[in-house]
Structure 1
Amino acid sequence: MMTRESGGAMLAGIACGVGAGALWGLVFLAPEVVRGFTPLQQAVGRYLAFGALSLILVAPRWRMLAARMTPRLLWALAWLALAGNLFYYVLLVSAVQMGGVAMTSLVVGFLPVAVTIVGSRQAGAVPLRQLAPSLLLCVAGALCIGWQAVVMPGPGPVATRLLGFACAVGALISWTAFAIGNNHWLRRQDDMPAQDWNLLIGLATGCQALLFLPVVLWLGLGRHDAAAWTQFTTVSVAVALLASIVGNALWNRASRLLPLTMVGQMILFETAFALLYGFAWEARWPTGLESAAFLLVVLSVVSCIAAHRRPVAGLVTTA
């Protein structure tokens, strides 16, 4: 049966997952706040700020961390930074601007299904059949939002919304690769503080953002007044600090405390908070379908927690 220590670790992991979701949900709202800036400008701005903050925070321990750098680890940091940060965020901003917050958060909300299916193949994981109720509830909630955000009439030409949908699917694929890869490398570096790992990814992303800066300048910065640039800078730094520094630190902590199948379910909170922030920004209450989706998301997470509390044959933990 589950020990008191393992139960405490699970509760701490869930709390970290919820906190990360609440902060990550802001990422879906930011593109609306600075809509006048292109997806690449927003991505480069956010990750230049993330890289700068990471450099400041990691500086006291840099010599110790630098001694651990191997070509394989540097390659892992590079592809995780590209897949989970720059590439993902360009696609996400494009999806929000063309398809809206609800549609984008819906598509990215399928991430728990993909991560859970992959995680169920790990040794010692809860069998997929025990997670079936949670996955079915997740899909039902996604279908509710999908009908509301994609099928029902909405603003903008259909072609633009379809392109936004395609960008959201690309963001989902990118984030799935990052979530699985990041979990793998976190467990391989189990003696490294999760925050240090996050800051190393921040440094890698900041370097990549610097490489993309000439492209942004070549494409043009557009016509923005001082107030717009001030708002853009504020949003970039705020998202970098809250989502990339604090949110990622909470997520890495959750990834170490929870099994991969359950980590995937925690990502549902990002979807829920993104929708809540979107409703607040649009100054409206959720529709019936959106309310039903929220309920289904909550039930999905609760049923997943229940599945992990049941003993698995051959893998029973004793007090």
Structure 2
Amino acid sequence: MHHPAEHHNLGKGIACGMGAGALWGLVFLAPELIRSFTPLEMACGRYVLYGLFAAAMVAPRWRVLSHTVPLRTWWTLNWLSFAGNTAYYVLLSSAVKNGGITTTTLVIGFLPVLVTLVGSRDKDALPLRQLLPSITLCVAGAICIGWQAMHTHSVARAPFFGLLCAVAALGSWTLYAVGNSRALVRQRHFSAHDWNLLTGLATGAQNLALLPLALLLDPTTHGLAQWSNFALVSAGVALLASIAGNALWNRMNQLLPLTLVGQMILFETLFSLCYGFIWEQRMPTGTQAVAFGCVVFSVLLCVRAHRKPVAQATNASTA
């Protein structure tokens, strides 16, 4: 399915995509801030709080809202929550802990390519040849990041396992990005905010069930200060990335076609790299600067490719 042209708003959609990317980029730092905890504990901490925050926000309207959510929609929300939240964050945290921020960012950087390729098959989507320059620059940027990562990775963790986790996270989130975009087209009676809160309820329930297993599988004894830090980081990521970031992303999905949605994921890559440089207290290398340039121009070319058809469709509808 494809978003009708009259619903497109490039300016607002891109702004929402940038905001979501800035907030989502923070999740790459979280595993470094609470390294003594397992990836499953990190996921449970973040998403149980996401569910609690969502429950508190939806409670005043729950009696009315609950009647608009059939069983089939709950099934959709649950598999999207698992693919895009629970499984993705466990895999991402494992990738960062074992392979580092930069290597993980490289692999996740291929998300726009996969999502754009899938979106190009939608009805009325732009032909792939018009998106090829943007996709080429996206791939070039990811390769530059990967080249730099291979020559600067000095922490002896488990780089191959980290790479496998990153690739699995890539697949998991691609399923979510495509499925969520198409679900929002079908579920237009839900606002982006309400869809995010319902997703939060599903995600929170999943991770509440997983919490005892997460605690059982962690052999480490944590002190009060570590648990306090864990709670603070989990709450921050839940509020900023899950509540605010997801709401912006869902709104963007309602405004942009899937072929452009894919390119918006690049903002998460850009911001996560920036946060990584701040964390490592260094400036980007020449290769990483080239990667930044490729990513920025990739988005600009994709926006340019979409602007003319949308303008033509708008003019036709008002004629």
SS at match of 2:189: coil
> CA-to-partner distance for each residue in 1:111-143, whole Å, 9 max, x for gaps?
110110111111111111000000000000000
Give 2:213's aligned amino acid.
V
Cα displacement (A) at 1:310: 2.6
Structure 2 unaligned residues grouped into runs of 5+: none
**Alignment-derived partner of residue 235 in structure 2:** 237
**Alignment-derived partner of residue 306 in structure 1:** 304
**Is the contact made by 2:8 and 2:255 (CA closer than 8 Å) also made in structure 1?**
no
Cα displacement (A) at 1:221: 5.9
Cα displacement (A) at 1:71: 2.1
Give 2:154's aligned amino acid.
P
> CA-to-partner distance for each residue in 1:215-259, whole Å, 9 max, x for gaps?
022223622221111111000000000000000000001100111
Confirm whether residue 174 of structure 1 aligns to residue 172 of structure 2.
yes
- Alpha-carbon distance in structure 2 between the residues aligned to 1:203 and 1:221: 29
Identity %: 57
Give 2:202's aligned amino acid.
A
- Alpha-carbon distance in structure 2 between the residues aligned to 1:255 and 1:8: 10
**Alignment-derived partner of residue 252 in structure 2:** 254
- Alpha-carbon distance in structure 1 between the residues aligned to 2:112 and 2:181: 14
**Alignment-derived partner of residue 271 in structure 2:** 273
Give 1:135's aligned amino acid.
I
**Alignment-derived partner of residue 154 in structure 2:** 155
Q: Which moved more, 1:241-250 or 1:103-112?
A: 103-112
Cα displacement (A) at 1:267: 0.4
> CA-to-partner distance for each residue in 1:36-81, whole Å, 9 max, x for gaps?
1110010000001100000000111111221122221111111011
**Is the contact made by 2:8 and 2:256 (CA closer than 8 Å) also made in structure 1?**
no
**Is the contact made by 1:125 and 1:261 (CA closer than 8 Å) also made in structure 2?**
yes
- Alpha-carbon distance in structure 1 between the residues aligned to 2:314 and 2:226: 58
Confirm whether residue 23 of structure 1 aligns to residue 23 of structure 2.
yes
- Alpha-carbon distance in structure 2 between the residues aligned to 1:305 and 1:192: 26
**Is the contact made by 1:194 and 1:249 (CA closer than 8 Å) also made in structure 2?**
yes
**Alignment-derived partner of residue 117 in structure 2:** 117
SS at match of 1:310: helix
- Alpha-carbon distance in structure 1 between the residues aligned to 2:156 and 2:31: 19
> CA-to-partner distance for each residue in 1:170-226, whole Å, 9 max, x for gaps?
000000000011011111110111110011010001100111011022223622221
Q: Which moved more, 1:68-77 or 1:173-182?
A: 68-77
RMSD: 1.9
Give 1:54's aligned amino acid.
A
Relative to structure 1, the CA distance from residue 50 to residue 7 in structure 2 (aligned partners, 3 Å threshold; closer, same or farther) is: closer
TM-score (norm 2): 0.94
Aligned residues: 313
- Alpha-carbon distance in structure 1 between the residues aligned to 2:202 and 2:184: 16
**Is the contact made by 2:22 and 2:271 (CA closer than 8 Å) also made in structure 1?**
yes
Relative to structure 1, the CA distance from residue 214 to residue 7 in structure 2 (aligned partners, 3 Å threshold; closer, same or farther) is: closer
Give 1:98's aligned amino acid.
N
- Alpha-carbon distance in structure 2 between the residues aligned to 1:289 and 1:202: 38
> CA-to-partner distance for each residue in 1:278-308, whole Å, 9 max, x for gaps?
0000101111111100000000000001101
**Is the contact made by 2:6 and 2:314 (CA closer than 8 Å) also made in structure 1?**
no
- Alpha-carbon distance in structure 2 between the residues aligned to 1:266 and 1:284: 26
**Is the contact made by 1:28 and 1:274 (CA closer than 8 Å) also made in structure 2?**
yes
**Alignment-derived partner of residue 100 in structure 1:** 100
**Is the contact made by 1:124 and 1:315 (CA closer than 8 Å) also made in structure 2?**
no
Give 2:198's aligned amino acid.
L
**Alignment-derived partner of residue 139 in structure 2:** 139
Structure 1 unaligned residues grouped into runs of 5+: none
**Is the contact made by 2:17 and 2:264 (CA closer than 8 Å) also made in structure 1?**
yes
- Alpha-carbon distance in structure 2 between the residues aligned to 1:200 and 1:286: 39
Give 2:290's aligned amino acid.
A
**Is the contact made by 1:54 and 1:199 (CA closer than 8 Å) also made in structure 2?**
yes
TM-score (norm 1): 0.94
